[in-house]
A and B are shown apart, each in its own frame.
Chain A
């Protein structure tokens, strides 16, 4: 027992020292599973894909690629979605760093880190059949298709129907019914 107590003391010391270290050096990582909010949002992203119809002209393939641009807030939550069926395809995942590599993305989630970039990005996408999703303020107004919002601590979303139609995406009425707001107004700008 004496040995165990000494060992306990030593471990206590190590934990104490460890406790003083991280403040300076630690990287604030998201919870490994992502916070509840982002786990819910990830599951909703998957659900969106089941209520959106991509145009037949979209490159045929077995996979629907979900792309995440910028700092991934989802933790591991999106990884769990890979391989899930959506329509007659399965979901794939791609993390993007810059504006490149968007070829083949069926869904594009634009992270909050891309705030400064989002207008350019949407213009660059033009009317390509990509379901753009973000939580950034002004996303809908700038021509994005779905924006997550928080209301009473619950995740809600807005849909820009005009932008979806221009992108050639068919949005199921079920999704529209659940949207907090359906924006049918013509989008601003080019």
Chain B
């Protein structure tokens, strides 16, 4: 559920320009994330975060409320969060020279980002990665963007101007208590800037060998005395990846959108925003065809389009109690050779936060989501029924209790009811101890649930196993398919050494049961049936470390390392041959080092090296060896020159060490993976 809208709300607490009166009483107690997961992000981001350009128009009170952490570019309060959290700021994204959200996510510690082809990605945290990775919840400004069809994310359709992103918060570990089902292994919240921070004009455009062309045109202005708006249009076009022959996985997307924010003196805030996009994502897919045992590799240019409209209203009362209401409508359409989906979603949620009895900070909320789809069947893909409307009812309650000056306890649970698995509860208990101002220890126990997707109930997908022995498989939804469950134990430690060094370590031990399996059902001469079942269980554990070092003003180093081990076991009697393969389908080791340096006040040089360990995907045929994807090390760099206050030009290179490398083997639908090529792009950003 989209409770991250709360972040959006917090974001709006960035002190806005005070209009003459100078009466700047802001709610000091914003919707802080402390109250949510005990993840204490703050209202203000660190220095690297984009600030409004007209600071001088702010009142003193407002200025004094801005966090200015000068070294750990993370807001100070993040260090007190009771979860494994990483914040990628808009400034970070700019300095990465990334041209897509997935590329920007590659530097987040503990996240595995693998490109399947030039428009498809497998992204998750803490294992079980897939194009349809279903244990990671992704939201953009409080709007959930995973598809209820497979509970995965169509990253190729998730775009927003990178310049508009204020920050991306990545939480590793369960967030089900607040966000609900699917926030099992992690949550990604993409949060855009309020319109007041994007006033004036912006033209940003670039071109390269892989990111062939991309550009954004944006304009922002005032709406009466209390409001601001921005409108934008953007275009992107990517080159296909490398394959043996032509790969046809090019991508093109045109998107336009707006955002308007109003804020009144009585501490009422209103946000309206919307986007509309249309594009094309190509692929080649190998499919079974008639006659029996024949296959064909077909070009599939999938048309993608969609739009959304979101409204968020917040009111802060004297005494700090806050109300928030959010509603959105989301339309998604895909028309591909195999996958067809036409979906309308309406989501409503209400939240209330209040302080009580000295030590308690209480947050509760209720939500409702209705999603209805319409699908067309074809030779390979069928949903039964072809149209279905699914209802989700939810509620949650959380209390943060200050036990002692530096010890807090967070206890809460989410309750929800969905049409597939019925009633679910997702409680958690977290503790944060800050023995010293620069040290934080936290620990948590949580239960999280990954509820069944529409496809897992209703699909008939005729496809091929990873290595094609000629016999097609029919992946079959099952109405008895139940939720996957997680019991997670986590702990972490953060340390800030003076103003120059910070270290963040998190460790986890996860116990899963009722994980998804495919038990071969019927052998027929023509096809093998694979119904969804829940016959896998197991444990995963790992460690994630992130560190920062401000060597001197204008030069920062960041490093990260993550380790993951998965041990999965099939229930007795299960003949599944693929699901245990998740053990090696995520890298055991990942590491990265980045350097961000200002060579002169006008010249920036950013260099990063990433290492991703090897993967193996089972073929489904015990006699065949797994498909291996080799480990790789890549280097990214960016050189930018600020020509004046309004103009920046840059050149950036990604994957510079190799001509090309592969990153992932797809599952379910055998789209042809393509290799990621060395890429260089150049561009400019002009404010007017």
Contact = CB atoms under 8 A, between A and B. Distances in A.
Interface of A: 1, 4-5, 7-9, 11-12, 15-16, 18-19, 22, 26-32, 35-37, 39-40, 42-44, 46-47, 51, 75-77, 80-81, 84, 150, 152-156, 174-175, 178
B601 A32 contact: yes
Contacts of A32: 598, 601-602, 642, 645
Contacts of A81: 56
Contact of A15 (B49, B69, B600, B639): B639
A12 B677 CA distance: 13
A8 B680 contact: yes
Interface of B: 22, 46-49, 51, 55-56, 58-61, 63-70, 75-76, 209, 239, 552-555, 595, 597-602, 605, 607, 635, 637, 639, 642, 645, 651, 653, 656, 659, 677-680
B680 A37 contact: no
Q: Shortest 3 CB-CB distances between A and B: which pairs? A: A36-B47, A29-B601, A43-B55
A18 B639 contact: yes
Contacts of B59: 47
B680 A11 contact: yes
14 contacts: A8-B678, A8-B680, A19-B637, A22-B597, A28-B554, A30-B553, A30-B598, A35-B47, A35-B68, A36-B46, A40-B68, A47-B60, A51-B60, A156-B64
Contacts of B209: 1, 4-5, 7-8
Contacts of B637: 12, 15-16, 18-19
Contacts of B679: 8
Given A22-B605, A47-B63, A153-B67, A40 B55 contact: yes
A34 to B, nearest CB: 9
B206 to A, nearest CB: 14
A9 B678 contact: yes
A175 B554 contact: no
Contacts of B553: 28, 30, 35
Nearest to A84: B56
A46 B68 contact: no
Contacts of A40: 51, 55, 63, 66, 68
B552 A155 contact: no
Nearest to B437: A152
Contacts of A152: 67, 76
Given A15-B653, A150-B68, A28 B55 contact: no
Contacts of B601: 29-32, 75
A46 B56 contact: yes
A169 to B, nearest CB: 17
B68 A36 contact: yes
B436 to A, nearest CB: 15
Contacts of A153: 67-69, 75-76
A154 B61 CA distance: 11
Contact of A19 (B68, B605, B678): B605
Contact of A8 (B56, B68, B552, B653): B653
A37 B67 CA distance: 8
B27 to A, nearest CB: 16
B594 to A, nearest CB: 12
A31 B49 CA distance: 13
A32 B51 CA distance: 14
B659 A5 contact: yes
B25 to A, nearest CB: 12
B645 A76 contact: yes
A30 B555 CA distance: 10
Q: Which of A4, A15, A16, A175 has the most CB of B within 10 A?
A: A15
Nearest to B553: A28
Nearest to A13: B656
Nearest to B598: A29
A42 B659 contact: no
A9 B659 CA distance: 8
Contact of A43 (B56, B70, B599): B56
B63 A44 contact: yes
A31 B66 contact: no
B42 to A, nearest CB: 9
A7 B681 CA distance: 11
Contacts of B56: 42-43, 46-47, 80-81, 84
Given A1-B209, A11-B651, 11 more contacts: A1-B239, A8-B656, A8-B678, A8-B679, A11-B680, A19-B637, A29-B554, A32-B601, A32-B642, A42-B55, A155-B63
Nearest to B597: A22
Contacts of B60: 44, 47, 51, 174-175, 178
A31 B598 contact: yes
B196 to A, nearest CB: 15
Contacts of A35: 47, 68, 70, 553
A3 to B, nearest CB: 9
Contacts of A22: 597, 599, 605
A40 B14 CA distance: 13
A84 B57 CA distance: 10
Contact of B64 (A15, A46, A76, A155): A155
Given A8-B209, A155-B68, A29 B600 contact: yes
A171 to B, nearest CB: 13
Nearest to A44: B63
Given A19-B605, A36-B68, A28 B598 contact: yes
B305 to A, nearest CB: 29
A43 B58 contact: yes
A43 B63 CA distance: 8
Contact of A18 (B46, B66, B68, B605): B605
B68 A37 contact: yes
A135 B233 CA distance: 44
Contacts of B46: 36
A156 B554 CA distance: 24
A127 B521 CA distance: 93
B645 to A, nearest CB: 6
B598 A16 contact: no
A164 to B, nearest CB: 16
Contacts of A4: 209
Nearest to B645: A76
A177 to B, nearest CB: 10
Residue of A32, A84, A175 contacting most chain B CB atoms (<10 Å): A32
